[in-house]
């Protein structure tokens, strides 16, 4: 092993006094940013290559530094990396360990590079990798919704507005409505990737790199789609984090909405679905309880992720240009959001894949008044303006309520008394299957349109 370098902070030349231990702990981010160690090693290897290209490092020095960085990376992977008291963050920890392994040559790696452009690069690399995994989880959730919709087209239930029965719909149609919200989330995530995939490395502390490293080479080496064209912006920009947090908040808003529906439908009052035991819990007092805790946690996590976004935006809003230490506050909300969002997507997939559907309960919830619009449409087809037919249908509902019967139990004479154009075929209106099948325009709940929606979503998943 090379001689141990003198212990000193990377920035310590200007300072003669010791750092307050409380300040050191307050300033340190290694306890949470160490998870970026693969990104930091990857970025440093690429930077070593760029220094060799401009003659700062010889070929032999480049090789020694890269081999040293790879050894540091293996220590992290094996769990043998020993954190030292003076390690402030993942960047200083890795550089300290590199110098322990290869000696003073390790100090050359930081030539022209600042922790300002280094951390911005690490964050983007790390988030790009995480976004790939989140995309897989999101697609898996959409896929399970599509598969259930494919297999459960026969179930018809009331569709609700204002939590009041509106019109009959297919259960598949409801599932696919969730899938389309998530499909748009998938599209938005894909649109966000180019704005994450921008290389800050080579921006230096704020003014740019004085050794004219080839930043396009760095971008290619690290897999970035573009290069930060302005160094001041490159080191300070955290819009990609804010945007990812906003995106995550919207995903969780959709997840919360799905969870709320399923919580309601799983109650004894509805009984449309039953959650699997794997995603339910019991009561410590009431033995009969089966609580939808998985769904309630999905609903609750949405508030947490929204809070991460709101808090970080408050951090950003008052900052002057370029790098400020406030930006260290970007990591914990981002890490927390990624961890919780990933878990929520997996839990939601499991909940939906394993729940049981009770078509008989859905059918029992269908009352004939949900066909009141169909009754109005019956007269429209006879040439009567809808505003008139709406009124006639409403009077039929009121008459049935007064008689304490279903609307289809009114007599033909009753219907004729409401409007002269009713014929005896009016009773064909009162068929739930026929009602959903009449919705054959694009976006409707007919079997044909449900099949179309499934095809659209499957095509999206293949992209």
Catalytic residues: 162, 283
3-state SS of the chain is: CCCCCCCCCCCHHHCCCCCCHHHHHHHCCHHHHHHHHHHHHHHHHHHHHHHHHCCCCCHHHHHHHHHHHHHHHHHHHHCCCCCCCCCCCHHHHHHHHHHHHHHHHHHHHHCCCCHHHHHHHHHHHHHHHHHHHHHHHHHHHHHHHHHHHHHCCCCEEEEEECCEEEEEEEHHHHHHHHHHHHHHHHHHHHHHHHHHCEECCCCCCCCCCCCCCCHHHHHHHHCCCEECCCHHHHHHCCHHHHHHHHHHHHHHHHHHHHHHHHHHHCCCCCCCEECCHHHCECCCCCCCCCECHHHHHHHHHHHHHHHHHHHHHHHHHCCCCCCCHHHHHHHHHHHHHHHHHHHHHHHHHHHHHHCEECHHHHHHCCCHHHHHHHHHHHHHCCCCCHHHHHHHHHHHHHHHHHHCCCHHHCCHHHHHHHCCCCCHHHHHHCCHHHHHHCCCCCCCCCHHHHHHHHHHHHHHHCC
């Amino acid at each position: 092993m090379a001689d141990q370098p003198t212990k000193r902070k990377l920035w310590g030349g200007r300072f003669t006094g010791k750092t307050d231990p409380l300040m050191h702990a307050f300033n340190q981010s290694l306890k949470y940013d160490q998870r970026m160690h693969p990104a930091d090693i990857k970025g440093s290897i690429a930077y070593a290559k760029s220094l060799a290209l401009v003659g700062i490092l010889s070929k032999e020095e480049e090789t020694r530094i890269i081999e040293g960085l790879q050894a540091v990376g293996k220590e992290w992977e094996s769990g043998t990396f020993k954190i030292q008291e003076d390690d402030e963050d993942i960047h200083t920890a890795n550089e300290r360990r590199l110098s322990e392994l290869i000696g003073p040559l390790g100090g050359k790696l930081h030539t022209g590079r600042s922790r300002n452009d280094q951390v911005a690069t690490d964050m983007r690399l790390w988030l790009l990798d995480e976004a790939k995994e989140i995309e897989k989880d999101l697609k898996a959730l959409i896929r399970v919704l599509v598969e259930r919709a494919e297999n459960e087209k026969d179930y018809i239930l009331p569709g609700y507005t204002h939590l009041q029965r509106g019109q009959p719909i297919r259960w598949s149609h409801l599932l696919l409505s969730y899938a389309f919200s998530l499909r748009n989330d998938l599209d938005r995530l894909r649109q966000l990737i180019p704005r994450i995939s921008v290389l800050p490395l080579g921006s230096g502390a704020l003014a740019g790199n004085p050794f004219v490293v080839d930043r396009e080479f760095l971008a290619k080496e690290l897999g970035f789609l573009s290069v930060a064209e302005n160094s001041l912006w490159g080191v300070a920009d955290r819009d990609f984090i804010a945007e990812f947090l906003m995106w995550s908040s919207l995903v969780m808003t959709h997840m919360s909405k799905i969870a709320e529906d399923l919580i309601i439908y799983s109650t004894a009052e509805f009984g449309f679905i039953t959650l699997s035991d794997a995603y339910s819990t019991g009561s410590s007092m009431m033995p009969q309880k089966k609580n939808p805790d998985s769904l309630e946690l999905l609903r609750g996590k949405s508030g947490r992720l929204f809070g991460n976004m709101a808090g970080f935006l408050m951090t950003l809003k008052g900052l002057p240009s370029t790098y400020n230490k406030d930006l260290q506050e970007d990591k914990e909300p981002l890490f927390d959001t990624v961890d919780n969002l990933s878990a929520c997507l997996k839990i939601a997939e499991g909940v939906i894949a394993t729940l049981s559907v009770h078509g008989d309960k859905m059918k029992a919830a269908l009352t004939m008044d949900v066909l009141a619009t169909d009754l109005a449409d019956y007269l429209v087809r006879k040439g009567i303006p809808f505003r008139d037919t709406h009124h006639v249908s409403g009077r039929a509902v009121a008459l049935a309520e007064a008689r304490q019967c279903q609307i289809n139990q009114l007599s033909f004479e009753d219907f004729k008394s409401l409007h002269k154009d009713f014929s005896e075929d009016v009773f064909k209106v009162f068929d739930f299957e026929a009602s959903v099948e009449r919705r054959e325009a694009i976006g409707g709940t007919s079997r044909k349109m449900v099949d179309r929606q499934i095809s659209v979503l499957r095509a999206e998943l293949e992209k």
